[in-house]
Structures are given as C-alpha cells and as structure tokens.
Structure 1
Amino acid sequence: MDCSTKVHHIRLFPGNRRGWLAFLLRWLIIALVIGTGGFYVFRMPGRSYDLPLKPLTSEEAGLRDRLRSHVRTLAGEIGERNVWRYGALQAAAGYLENELESSGYAVTGQHYTAKGKGVQNLEAELPGLNANAGMIIVGAHYDSVYGSPGADDNGSGTAAVLEIARLLKGRPLSRSVRFVLFVNEEPPFFKTGLMGSLVYAKRSRQRGEKIAAMLSLETIGYYSDAPQSQHYPFPLNFFYPSTGNFIGFVGNIGSRRLVHRSLEAFRRTTAFPSEGAAVPGGIIGVDWSDHWSFWHEGYPALMVTDTALYRYNQYHGPFDTPDRLDYDRMARVVAGLARVVVDLAQK
C-alpha cells in the first residue's frame, strides 16, 4: 500500500505589511491586558521601608522576649503537637488558654472530634463599642505538621496572636476583635471538614456573624538579608524582591480592599520592609493557611507571612526549631500588626 506524507509549513511570522500590522496589534493587546491585570493585582499603597532598621524600643524588646518565650514553650518544651502526639496538642491548648486568661480574657473552646480525639479551637474577644460594626478576627493555627516541632509553622503566628491580644487589652475600639487559635490546619486536615478554621468559619456563617476582616498569621518569624534568599511561585517572581527580609500580606482578588488597607496601615506606622499581593487564589501557596476557610465561607481574609517554604528551608521539617527564628524582626512585625488591627477595628 502506497502512503504519502503531507508536510505543513507553519509560518511563525507574517509575510507582508498587513500581516505584520495585525501581528503587532494582537501582541500589543495581549501586553496591555497583562499589564493592566498586573497593575490591578500588584499595585499596592505606600512604599516598603528600605532604610536600616532602628534599634528596638524598650517596649519592642519586651515584646521580643515574650514572643521568644512563647515559641520556646510551644516548639521547644512541648514540641510537635497534633493528634498523633495528642498529649502535646492538649498541652499546647492548655498553655494558650492560660496565657490569654493571664492577659485578662475569658476563653471559650469550640470542641469537636477528629481521628477519634477531642480537639478544640480557642477564642477570646475584645468587645467593640459598636455591636453592629462587625468584627475583626486575628487567628493562627497552633498545631504542627507530623514530624516537626513547628517553631515558624506555626509557633510564630500563635505567639503573635497571644501578644496582639495582650497589647490591645482594654483598648476602646469600634469593632470587636476576636482572637482565635485554630487546631488541625496541617495535613491531612487541610481543606477538609475537620480543619479547625473551616469548622469555625462555617459556624460563623451559620450564626450570621459579620466578619469585616480575618487576618491569618502564618509563619512570620524567619528573615534573611542574603541575596537570592527569596523565591516565589510563577508569576510572582517577576514582581517581588529576591531578598527575604520582608513580611508579606497576601489575599485573593475578593480581599483586595482588605490587603490594601492592611498594608497601607502597616507601611504608614511601621518601619519594616513589607510587600503585598491580591492575586487569584489558585496561585500555588496563596491559600495555604486558615484564611482559605474564611474565603470558603465568603468572608474577606488575608494571610500575613514570611512566605514559608519560599524562603525558609526548614519548613515542615524536624529542624523548624525556636533557635532559627529572628525575634527582633518578629517583634517589629507583631507591633506593626497590632497597629493594623487597631486601624481595621476603627471603622
């Protein structure tokens, strides 16, 4: 049987003037669309601080010491904490409850069962002056992934919640501020019905609670001044610095206004490098924490992060230990976040 093969020649570029004009116009439109989208997504208010850091104030030094103490207790003395080390998970919950109570808060637990174990989210509230203004939630997960003591992930965020609660105690604010410590953020619970923050967010939706903003504090303790110490998922690498010395504010498109207001407040009040992004939630890493649960229930939420695995090579590993964190910089960030919460709570 006689078979013949047809070869199709693909023209990569136009062959005449009219074709070139159409070709250039098409790519100009594509460039404009990409540029406009990038402007909408990546343009942020204010400017990142880029001068040498000033010495810590006496208040910031005290904050640094308390943050270090919390992380050392959670990731050092208690260590890995999850349902597979149930005693440690319970010890962490007990420590957090005691710390919030010592700051003057009444603490309530949201109890449920996971893997046959009783687990709980913990919440404490600073009542606002306007009951109809909605609330701000400041949250972090206190469990650690299997096999890791979880100093940065997420002893750092948990310690920050404790200290922001202490800093704001007795502050008259328009909106209520609720401090929530979530269980079961890590796999295999992440994005399942047993994820602590999703259990909590669903209850908030069922109750009709008005949540004006949710801030998820997730891995905020590691910083580096080394060149090329910062990496990103595509295409964020084209828009952000390659030195991992900043704190990031990350939200989805629906939370763009919240990202802008939070970053503007941080940059206006805090001398520390910062970056922000309101990007599609499908970009890898953008939804990797408890803010995802609040997006799921239709609430505006963002993640505050040192970018975790995109900067920190001990992420989810056995050497995510308290000695690897930078508590001086962490104190600056937490003090700044307290000011952001005050700004958000003053409707």
Structure 2
Amino acid sequence: MRKTSLSILLAASLSLGGTAVWAAPLQGVNLQSDQAFDNKIVKRIKVENIYNHIAKLSKEPRVAGTPAEAAAVEYIKKQFETFGYDTEVQDFDIYSYTEPSKIEFSVDGMTLAPAPMGFTYGVNGAVSGELVYVGLGSPDEIKEEAVKGKIALIQRGGFSFAEKITNAAAKGAVGVIIFNNADGVINGTLGEPNESYVLALAITKVQGEALKSRLESGQAVTAAINVEGSKTEHAVSQNVVATKKATQKSTNQLVLVGAHHDSVDGAPGANDDASGTATVLELARVFANTPTDTDIRFVTFGAEENGLLGSYEFVERMTQEDYDRTVGMFQMDMVGSKDAGPLIMYTNDGEKNTVTELGAAAGARLSQTGQATPYGMEGRSDHVPFAEAGLPAALFIHAPVEPHYHSPEDTLDKISLDKLREVSTIVGAAVYQVARPDTPALENAKVAPKAVDYNFEERELE
C-alpha cells in the first residue's frame, strides 16, 4: 500500500477536517456563480446518450474474461477515441468462472425456496453431515471439536465470504452454508480460486434464521450439499482508461471518474453496471471540449464482479506522481434503475472525504429543495482499492438496490432517465468544481467552497 501523501495537491490548499482540499474562488463569488458554472456541464449532458450506451452494452452479459467483455471494451475504447481521447487498455490476468450445472441442498424437515445459490470460484463435490451454527464465522467462533466433519451454518457480515469458508475449512468443516443478513438471496464471489475452499452455498436470511432457530432449540439437523459442473479457468480482463489533460494553466491535480463494465453470468447488467459505464462515457464527451485546469481520468474497470480486480490493478499501476496529485475518485455503480432507492454516497470507512464534500455540495446546488446527497458506509465496489490506498473515494449508487440485481431481469426497460440525469449532473458538477479554471482575479484564492450539511445514513444496499 502506498504511503498517503496528499500535501502537494496544491500549494494553495487548506484542510477541512484533515482532508486536503483544492484551491477555489472566494466564497462570496462562489455563492453567486457556482450554479452558473454548473450549467456549463449540466446543460450539455444528454441523458439520452447515456440510455443509448446502456442499450448497446446490455444486449448480453459481459462476464469478465469472455468475448462479450472484450466487445464491451472495444465499444468503450472507440467511444473515448471518438471524443478525441488518447485511450489505454490495461490487460490483466484473472480467473474466469463457469456457473455450476447442478446445485442441490437438502435439509431434513425443510423445503428451501428460493433455491440456494453458489459462490463464484466455489468448488464441486458432494458432502453430508450435521449442521452447526458458528455465528459470523470468525476463527474464535469456530471450534474444531464442534465443526469437524460437519457443515457450518454462518451468518453474512463481519468477514468476506472467502474468509468464512476458509476459517471453517481450517477447523475441519466439510461444507459451509452462509445465510443473508438482509432480504433476498446472496449472489456472491470468493474473489479468486483457493485450494482451501470446501463446498459452500448461500441461502436467504429467512431460511438461515429458521435453521439457526432449530439448532438453538436443541434439534439435530442433517444437511447434504451437491455441486456439479462449475469450472475455473485462466482468462484476461481489461480496464479502459482515457485522460483529459488540463487545457488552461495546470494546477497539477488529477480527478478520477470510474465505473465497472463487466456483469455477472446470466445478467445483461443494464443497471449493474452499464448505467455507470454509460454515464462515464457521457461525462467524458461533455468534458472533452471543456476548458479545465485539472487533468480528468475516465476509467471503466473489468472484473469488478470477480472481486474488484480491475480497480486493484489500476491502483497498483498508478505512478507515485499521479497518486500524489489525485484529488479524489468518483465511482458510479448501479445508477439508473427505476426500482432502486434514493441516491447515496458510500465511503469505505463511513467517513466524509473530499469526494463526498464535493458530491454533497453539487447535490445541494442542483436540488430543487437544496437538500444535499447523504453518505453512508459500504464497500463492495471499485472505490474500495482507492480508499485502501489512502485516496479520497466514494461510491455513487441508489440504495437499496433493485430486486432484480444480478439477475436476467436487469434489463434496459428498468432504466430511469431521471435517475441517470440525477447522478450524471451531480458527479459532473462536482468534478467541474475542481477542474474548472478559476477566474484570473481569484486564481490565488485560498478559500474552499462553503461546506454544506449532509447526513450519515445507515442504509443497506440490499
């Protein structure tokens, strides 16, 4: 992990709560002119363009490492080049995964509907044994004498799916059942293959709590798991990177705007995340001929669904110079479904940062009510590797997510133009707040834009 060093973002920067902040015009002028500046971006955004990109990208699933992902990469690359950008494609190695042809899970005295789901990079096999509840699956909760030769029942949360499985396997469990901590069925990934995995399936919260209740009442519960046909193979995924260089006197700052272009197997991924990718493309078009004193890098990531592999690869390849001059990273994931909840900005640690300050201020300026976009705490998208490296980053998403998330029903007809407009204008205005050339009379100002009040929300994604 790179050392956090944001002190040279600008010579004329100041600190708000310990966060490095860009130089900006004097406050009195800001209050009168920010909306006028916003309009230079907002009025040029054509939400129909975003919709049309989604239509192109969501004709079929774009699983990382497949020809369909490669076709999406080529489409994105050509769009960036049409806008006049020099575009880089970053290849990186991954493991592709074929879903099982058969998943069976039986429990004495219980019928499971909906059916259990497998995990990406899960293994094949057949086991049966007594079911044992082990909480969140931490090493301390799992006792070898309790789980050896048995199937561990584990609640979602606290640890990754992979950690829960390997923790149980290390104590001798022959299988793992993970039940959700929210409504719906888990559609999860283990991140990468691992020889230490044992058979593992995911069930709903209701199903898991019913099993837990039986166990806690003293009943002996026997279960059997059978998984066939899954396959893990080496493959190549790609990131697509387009950079807009500053056209005015450069502040030597860099802003990152991203989304992931891959989807899960079987899902056209109109909202997850063709919507984010299409919004990145439209913002790239708008900014292509917009004067800026800041570099803007537009990125679509591959293999997000495999464990954020593309964004981790991108962060690993960042030069120290680019790292030091990065103001923040704006990630857009699932930003268009009419069936999802309101917009929220998630940070990996649940703390405000430069990106949320910019997003909240832009949201307040653009909202008819003047209400700022709230923030919360959530990982699970491509803002995470940037945050872990010490860079300000936030995920823009509508939550709770729609019920057809990660399913064949994630299709174009579920897309809302209003939600696309909301996110594209807020992110566009927030990025321009940094990137716009300051007026000459105020170019040495050391006053940041007025902070707005925005609230933390405990809002689950699912």
**Which TM-score bucket, shorter chain as reference?**
0.5 to 0.7
- Structure 2 counterparts to residues 138-157 of structure 1, below 5 A: 138-157=257-276
Equivalent pair of 1:270/1:336 in contact (CA under 8 Å): no
- Structure 2 counterparts to residues 198-217 of structure 1, below 5 A: 198-204=312-318, 209=323, 210-217=325-332
2:385 is paired with a residue whose SS is helix
2:425 corresponds to: 335
| Match 1:122 to one of 234, 240, 243 | 240
Equivalent pair of 2:259/2:333 in contact (CA under 8 Å): yes
CA RMSD of the aligned region, Å? Answer: 2.5
Equivalent pair of 2:356/2:375 in contact (CA under 8 Å): yes
1:275 is paired with a residue whose SS is coil
2:336 corresponds to: 221
Q: In the aligned structure 2, how far is the partner of 1:121 from the partner of 1:176?
A: 19
- Matching of residue 302 in structure 1 with residue 394 in structure 2: yes
1:147 is paired with a residue whose SS is coil
- Structure 2 counterparts to residues 143-182 of structure 1, below 5 A: 143-182=262-301
1:197 corresponds to: 311
- Matching of residue 184 in structure 1 with residue 276 in structure 2: no
Deviations 1:244-281 (A, max 9, x none): 3x3222223454343122211222134487632254xx
| Match 1:110 to one of 78, 87, 90 | 90
2:375 corresponds to: 277
Q: In the aligned structure 2, how far is the partner of 1:296 from the partner of 1:130?
A: 31
| Match 1:258 to one of 355, 368, 382 | 355
Structure-2 change in CA distance of 1:301 and 1:141 (3 Å): same
1:24 corresponds to: none
2:216 corresponds to: none
Structure-2 change in CA distance of 1:332 and 1:261 (3 Å): closer
1:88 is paired with a residue whose SS is helix
1:92 corresponds to: 72
- Matching of residue 287 in structure 1 with residue 379 in structure 2: yes
Partner amino acid for 1:154?
D
Quote the offset at 1:340 in angstroms: 1.3
Partner amino acid for 2:84?
G
Deviations 1:147-204 (A, max 9, x none): 2110110000000000000111122222211000100000xx215xxx0001101221
Higher strand share: 2
Q: In the aligned structure 2, how far is the partner of 1:278 from the partner of 1:205?
A: 30
Structure-2 change in CA distance of 1:135 and 1:321 (3 Å): same
Q: In the aligned structure 1, how far is the partner of 2:433 from the partner of 2:344?
A: 18
> Gapped runs of 5+ residues in structure 2?
1-16, 18-41, 96-233, 439-462
Q: In the aligned structure 2, how far is the partner of 1:333 from the partner of 1:60?
A: 14
Partner amino acid for 2:239?
N
2:328 is paired with a residue whose SS is strand
- Matching of residue 318 in structure 1 with residue 408 in structure 2: yes
Partner amino acid for 2:343?
I
1:101 is paired with a residue whose SS is helix
- Structure 2 counterparts to residues 36-115 of structure 1, below 5 A: 63-76=46-59, 79-83=60-64, 86-115=66-95
Equivalent pair of 2:396/2:423 in contact (CA under 8 Å): no
Equivalent pair of 1:248/1:274 in contact (CA under 8 Å): no
Q: In the aligned structure 1, how far is the partner of 2:296 from the partner of 2:344?
A: 22
Partner amino acid for 2:375?
A
